[in-house]
Structure 1
Amino acid sequence: MNPNSVELLLVEDSIHDAELTIRELKKHNMANNLYHAKDGEEAIDFIFCTGKFEGKRQITNSPKMVLLDIQMPKVNGIEVLQKIKSDERTQAMPVIILTSSKEDPDIKRCYELGANSYIVKPVNFERFAEAIRNLGYYWLLLNEQPIPKINK
């Protein structure tokens, strides 16, 4: 896959949750250009073209959507969100928090930092599949985004 053609960045440390999400998106033809980052550090490297992505991606080719878990090792999702939304090159990128945390402080903090949506992962498989399908339809097919800034 061309790392510059990614439309959806899934940031999820749970292999099980990632597989369910990818399977549901593929089922509805919304995972053709998906990259799965397994922790926050990899997500930051991917988005900002650093680490193993240096010279392989261009920051102007931002994903159309980031599905971001907040409870992850190395760098947590709140830190990833803060970095995305504090950089003018990426701040318009839609970031949807998809997490198991129902904690009010987490919800408030994510919205304060600029999260576009906060969704608690449903425990029931059918509801989880429906939530992923609806997310994909809205953010990948219906939502219009501004053209990213080019200057560094």
Structure 2
Amino acid sequence: MPKEKISVLFIEDDVIETMKMHRAVAKIDGDYFIKEAKNGEEALTILSQKDNLPNIILLDLNMPKMNGIEFLTILKNDERLKSIPTIVLTTSSNQKDMLTCYEIGIAGYVLKPLKYEDYILRLERILSYWSINELIKL
């Protein structure tokens, strides 16, 4: 049975981090379609396209215009969008940020490791978990 392509909205303002993520996904076994947004406002514009919602969202917290927590608050208060699994992928190990994100309703909080090999491993675990999760097959 062929696997379905997993659609990921990657919200990250740092060009180098975005390139790193694309390189990492290319090394991971699976079929993923990555759509990018440089900030929360751009992501909300993408999500306003009702017929093309992502299966999961990978979100950085530290962004211009609208930070990740502001984006999460809007996302999780929207009836149409609140069930999209959102995983925070960040360098912030701030306990308060993590607790706030879980209170808002994230599906996971993952720290970006410094080593590229560790980054690939973490991204692979995130994507493989959501590839088999029944929620995204609804």
TM over 0.5: yes
Deviation track 1:56-109 (CA, whole Å, cap 9, x = no partner) reads xxx243201100001000111111111111111111100000000000110010
RMSD over aligned CA atoms reads 1.9
- Could you tell me which runs of 5 or more consecutive residues in structure 1 were left unpaired when the two chains were aligned: 50-58
- The percent identity for this pair of structures is 34
Return the letter of the residue paired with 2:27.
K
Answer yes or no: is the 8 Å Cα contact 2:55–2:136 preserved in 1: no
Per-residue deviation, 1:17: 1.1
Determine helix, strand or coil for the equivalent of 2:41: helix
Aligned to 2:132: 142
Aligned to 1:105: 96
In the alignment, the residues of structure 1 paired with residue 123 and residue 137 of structure 2 have an alpha-carbon distance, to the nearest angstrom, of 25
Aligned partner (choices 98, 113, 123) of residue 122 of structure 1? 113
Runs of 4+ residues deviating >3 angstroms: 29-32
In the alignment, the residues of structure 2 paired with residue 86 and residue 70 of structure 1 have an alpha-carbon distance, to the nearest angstrom, of 18
Per-residue deviation, 1:40: 1.3
The number of equivalent residue pairs is: 134
Return the letter of the residue paired with 1:17.
E
Aligned to 2:55: 64
Return the letter of the residue paired with 2:25.
L
More strand by share: 2
Per-residue deviation, 1:24: 1.2
Per-residue deviation, 1:115: 0.6
Q: TM-score, normalised by structure 1?
A: 0.81
- Could you tell me which runs of 5 or more consecutive residues in structure 2 were left unpaired when the two chains were aligned: none
> What are the within-5 Å matches in structure 2 for residues 1-152 of structure 1?
7-30=7-30, 32-49=32-49, 59-139=50-130, 141-145=131-135
In the alignment, the residues of structure 2 paired with residue 80 and residue 110 of structure 1 have an alpha-carbon distance, to the nearest angstrom, of 10
Note closer, same or farther for the CA distance 1:67–1:31 as it changes in structure 2 (3 Å cut).
Answer: farther
